[in-house]
Amino acid sequence: MTVDDTGSGAGADGRVNLPAAEPGEPGDPGEDPHPLALRLEQLILGAERRYTPFQAARSAGVSMELASRFWRAMGFADIGQAKALTEADVLALRRLAGLVEAGLLSEAMAVQVARSTGQTTARLAEWQIDSFLEGLTEPPEPGMTRTEVTYPIVELLLPELEEFLVYVWRRQLAASAGRVVQAADDEEMVDRRLAVCFADLVGFTRLTRRMEEEELGELVEAFETTSADLVAARGGRLIKTLGDEVLYAADDAGTAADIALLLVETMSNDETMPELRVGMAFGTVTTRMGDVFGTTVNLASRLTSIAPRDAVLVDSAFAEELIRTGDAPASEAEAAEEAAAAEKEGEEPPTYRFALQPMWQRPVRGLGVVEPWLLTRRNSEDV
């Protein structure tokens, strides 16, 4: 919120204000904004413009420097000293600063809270406008303009979407808090041992040159939706989607393996989908702001790039974990010996969910020589 008349602004509660522009250009805060845009802003924010950034910071009892850090962390550009902020912006600044003053959060952590919330809700807002609101506000009758139907639609949807957002957030917060309190120690709360998986559509770049934009968008949406549903249903956590690639994590290797093979099986049964390749690794992972980092993540990504089509590659640590937990035999020869011994004793042979086949060791850029293993199912009833 420094003195800079370019860029766009938004409320410090994470909701969008109208953009600022160079003096004399359309959208200049010194000029009257579009009447409907202003009405929508007041409807969504629940308040009208009253403060410049300096006035908002002073009213909240925080320095302009800290207010600017919070503002930028939420993903909003500087708006100079335009009178574009509301009581909600002041309250949000006061709350963040109050958490710091009370010693509940450090200043750096408060900025992280602002940044993570801003990044997450920005994507959600863009999706809702692009994929949801635009369709609903198509003029229902010839001669009607979109502006004539937008306001009442937003007015009806806003309270319902707001309550649903809070509900989902609370559910996700409860699930995440539960995982944290079950961690073995404090270090494990940040640096945890997880199974990390990348699933990548084969030949996506070529598809972008052959398909129409609308078709490509539908394919990506179908891939992301199917992947997200399968990951959630089987107990994994979707970290992010990157168009032709998804990244997910699971607390145990068996869950991650089941999801990976289910993804390949599901996509291969869909004629509209390209082939899929999957890479997975197991080990220590650093988690920050809902994302994952570290050598384990890098290794999973590299394994994806060398995986055969419609196949799953795992690293040696992942294979060892499946063997340790009894989800896979150390070798098919050992499994055969166990089955023969059990049959001789009149007992049920041990059952395994997965099979592992060692592949040739190979150098992987930035990670040295790795030994990938090909992962497959042993029993079709596991699907």
| DSSP-based three-state secondary structure for 281 | strand
Confirm if 277 and 375 have CB atoms less than 8 A apart. no
Beta-sheet strands, E only, within the chain: 8-10, 16-19, 191-201, 237-241, 245-250, 276-288, 291-293, 311-314, 354-358, 362-364, 368-370, 373-377
Bridge partners for 191 per DSSP: 286
Rounding to the nearest 10 degrees, give the CA dihedral for residues 130, 136, 137, 138. Answer: 100
Nearest-Å Rg of the Cα atoms of the chain is 26
Contact 286, 191 (CB under 8 A): yes
Distance, CA of 13 to CA of 281 (rounded, Å): 38
Residue 284 in contact with residue 193, Cβ under 8 Å? Answer: yes
Tell me the C-alpha to C-alpha distance, in Å, between residue 35 and each of 38, 42, 57, 157, 230: 5, 11, 27, 20, 45
| Cα–Cα nearest to 287, from 379, 190, 216 | 190
H or E stretch at 172: helix 146-181
pLDDT at 327: 94
Pair 334, 328: CB distance under 8 Å = no
Q: Supply the pLDDT for residue 132.
A: 62
At residue 377, φ and ψ (nearest 5 deg) are: -85, 155
- 312-336 per-position pLDDT tens digit: 999 999 999 999 999 999 888 888 8
- The torsion angles phi and psi of 308, rounded to 5 degrees, stand at -65, 165
What pLDDT, on the 0 to 100 scale, is given for residue 133? 62
* pLDDT score for 214: 76
Single out the residue of 288, 311, 307 nearest to residue 370, CA to CA. Answer: 307
pLDDT at 35: 77
pLDDT tens by residue, 143-157? 666 667 777 888 888
With a cut of 70, list the residues of the chain below it in pLDDT: 1-33, 131-147, 179-180, 182-191, 379-383
Q: What local confidence, expressed as pLDDT, does residue 134 receive? A: 62
Q: What is the per-residue DSSP string for 127-171?
A: HIIIIIIHHHTS-SSTT--HHHHHHHHHHHHHHHHHHHHHHHHHH
Beta strand 276-288 with 311-314 is parallel
Main-chain phi, psi angles of 373, to 5 degrees: -125, 140
Residue-level pLDDT at 139: 61
| Residue 162 token pair | 């707001």
**What three-state secondary structure class fits 367?**
coil
70: left (phi over 0), alpha (psi -120 to 50) or beta: alpha
Q: Any residues with CB less than 8 A from the CB of 110 and at least 6 apart, and which?
A: 70, 96, 97, 99, 100
